Structure 1
Amino acid sequence: MILVTGATGNLGSKVIAHLLNKGTAAKDIAALVREEEDASTLKEQGIHIRIGDYAEIDSLVKAFAGVDKMLLISSNDRGAVENRTKHHINAITAAKAANVKHIAYTSFVRKPGHENSAISGFQNSHVESENFLKESGITYTILQNCIYQEMILAFIGEGVAETDTILFPAQDGKASWVLREELAEAAANILITNGHENKTYPLTNTTSVGFEQIAAYISEVLGKKVTYVSPAVEDFKAILAKAGVPDLYIGMFTMWGTGIAAGMMDLEDTTLEILLGRKPTSVHRFIEQVYRIEQEQSLA
């Protein structure tokens, strides 16, 4: 039995879809959810629904009963970073109690110097979780995912086609953006094949891209010049605050922008390509698809 946590989330639901598409029977898949009513679609597909909460170990032990392999998708708790670490430790502790044989854990790509970067808290949570998993005695695979290509759209905002400007404090930093769909497919491949025991995989694209290049890609699709502007961090915060952006998002955008500026996600690797059996989708292709669709919809 393969169990996927966060099964109704964007990544978990895609992993389950890939497991099914690759021939895993629904009866051999379990989905961990907090509320059963959220999993009606999965239930209709014949997938086992397990109810559990990262904050409640007893519920997890019960939910993990009979599971051989588990994909532990990192917590998306919006509270203190320590909450996430505790959630991961709870899940690993419960998996050990339930005799789960193998855990694949979705971590995040790391580079030297991350301890002093803008994303240090986020990274430290993954470091602590990885170490706890390694020391648990359970066979593991650590998936160090890089930043999603979908996040590009959040960072540049919805009005680029109207303003012709990308405003983001990433300076000339680059990131090895990856498509969430392909990270889900790679995770599914790992869950249904052997040879991944006690390995750590950096899952990045083969080419890193910065916002100057992203602006050029958008310009190409829109047929007009889009300019990238990287303001000072405090100026960026003030601009967003004046626009009414909530503090939570201002903090998040600033953290990621500064992290990219420091090169914390600039890591090119072929592991994802090997796991997929093809080159990952490029940022150029992603941007082309997104803005081409938007143009077609606006003309319809």
Structure 2
Amino acid sequence: MTAPVVLVTGATGTVGPHVVAALSDRAVTVRSAVRDPEAVPDELAAAGTAVEFDFAKPETWGAALADVDGVFLVRPPAVDEADLKAFVDAVGRVGVDRVAYLSTLGAEKNVLVPHHRIEKRIAATGVDYTFLRASFFVQNLLEVHRADVVERDEIFVPAGRGETSFVDARDVGEAAAVVLTESGHADRAYDLTGPEALDYEQVAAVFSDVLGRPITYPNPSLLAFARRMRRRGTPLGFVVLTCGIYTTARLGLADRVTDDCRRLLGRRPRRMRAFVEDHADDFARDS
């Protein structure tokens, strides 16, 4: 019997590599969708086949979707919503069995976010779907805010005193592999959070304890945060998006903790401390 083929979009992003890694431990053939198959990291190349893919280039979709049974679908921030919806329609046309879509916590109620509309589009295709509505990725502290920790010993985010139920992208990747390869998850939605909600004073305390030096949380205003990001050359659109995400925390809307990760993984999801311990070298001061 031929192993099912699973296409992983966003394979080099925050969650995609962890989806690929988790799927590689299962009886499936992994196909990583990337812009340049010749430049994929070694771990992706070892886990399966890389195929050229671009949401903005429909001419790349056919080969990527050929004989595919499942799709892990993620919308990178730079991808136009219309392009992603067109790809969703193509997934429905070619007979893919199931789709796991990386959405965001609260998307079912928040009509302002593109994830709300994309979820509806996926459901309309008739393909078996699972929506993975994830909380704020703890990896953002490394990918977006590492410079503040390394250079200034600060967690510099405009989240006020609000708490966030941080989730580890590694756990989300493992959850995606579960819903794409096991039965019982069709037409379901899961709210994926970590096991605790922390404010950023508590986050700074975890960093301080693990790294062995004082890390502070200055609690900057949205304007101060935006100014620092822009001085670093961060695109305005990304700054606005990030401010919107942290405003959710400021308003006390990011603290909901669920049991969905534990039920899917059969274990407790990773805590903030585990993430900082695993990346302590990345947050060490530059010599």
Deviations 1:97-119 (A, max 9, x none): 2111211111111179745xxxx
* Pair 45,292 (structure 1): closer, same or farther in 2 beyond 3 Å: closer
Kindly indicate which of the two structures has a greater share of residues assigned to helix: 1
Q: Could you tell me which amino acid in structure 2 is paired with residue 220 of structure 1?
A: D
Q: TM-score, normalising length from structure 1? A: 0.81
In the TM superposition, what whole-angstrom CA distance separates every residue of 1:202-245 from its partner, at most 9, and x where no partner exists?
1111211110101111232344543322233223334555x444
Instruction: Tell me, yes or no, if structure 1 residue 205 matches structure 2 residue 209.
Output: no
Gaps of 5+ in 1: none
Residue 99 of structure 1 corresponds to 95
Distance in 2 (alpha carbons) for counterparts of 1:189 and 1:237: 38
Partner of 1:69: 70
130-139 or 50-59: which moved more? 50-59
Q: Is the 8 A contact 2:134 2:191 kept in 1?
A: yes
Structure 1 residues 97, 86: CA separation in 2 closer, same or farther (over 3 Å shift)? same
The correspondence of residues 172-211 of structure 1 with structure 2, limited to 5 A, is 172-211=161-200
Match of 1:229? 218
2:85 corresponds to which residue? Answer: 89
Residue pair 2:148, 2:156 contacting (<8 A) in 1 also? no
Deviations 1:145-179 (A, max 9, x none): 22111112355443436644433211011111111
The 5 Å alignment of 1:253-292 reads 253-291=242-280
CA contact 1:221–1:292 (8 Å) conserved in 2: no
Query: What is the alpha-carbon distance in structure 2 between the residues aligned to residue 64 and residue 140 of structure 1?
Result: 16
Match of 2:38 in 1: 37
Is 2:22 the partner of 1:24?
A: no
TM-align CA RMSD: 2.9
Give 2:37's aligned amino acid: E
1:3/1:222 Cα in 2 relative to 1: closer, same or farther (>3 Å)? closer
Rg (Cα) greater in structure: 1
**In the superposition, relative to structure 1, how do residues 164 and 86 fare at CA in structure 2: closer, same or farther (>3 Å)?**
same
* Residue number in structure 1 paired with 2:15: 11
Q: 1:162 to 1:138 in 2, by over 3 A?
A: closer
Code of the residue aligned with 2:71 in structure 1: it is M
Deviation at 1:11, TM superposition (A): 2.2
CA–CA separation in structure 2 for the residues paired with 1:44 and 1:220: 37
In structure 1, the residue corresponding to 2:15 is in which secondary structure?
A: helix
How big is the shift at 1:126? 0.3
Residue 214 of structure 1 corresponds to which residue in structure 2? 203
Q: Is the 8 A contact 1:55 1:90 kept in 2?
A: no
Given the superposition, is the C-alpha separation of residues 143 and 159 from structure 1 closer, same or farther in structure 2, using an over 3 Å criterion? closer
The alignment of Structure 1 onto Structure 2 pairs a total of residues equal to 282
2:234 to 234, 246, 252: 246
Cα pair 1:3 1:71 within 8 Å, conserved? yes
Deviation at 1:19, TM superposition (A): 1.3
Distance in structure 2 (CA, Å) of the matches to 1:112 and 1:66: 31
Q: In percent, how many aligned pairs have the same letter?
A: 27
Q: Is 2:150–2:283's contact at 8 Å kept on the other side of the alignment? A: no
Q: 1:112 to 1:132 in 2, by over 3 A?
A: closer
CA distance in 1, matches of 2:209, 2:44: 44
Contact 1:172–1:210 (CA<8 Å) still a contact in 2?
yes
For structure 2, the residue ranges without an aligned partner over 5 or more in a row are: none
The Cα of 1:198 is off from its aligned counterpart by 0.4
3-state secondary structure, aligned to 1:70? strand
CA deviation string 1:1-38 (max 9, x = no partner): 222222333422221221122x325xx33232333323
What's the secondary structure of 1:104's corresponding residue?
A: strand
What's the offset of the Cα at 1:247?
A: 4.4
Q: State the TM-score, normalizing by the size of structure 2.
A: 0.85
Out of 111, 129, 135, the position equivalent to 1:140 is 129
Name the CA distance, whole Å, in 1 between partners of 2:109 and 2:48.
Answer: 42
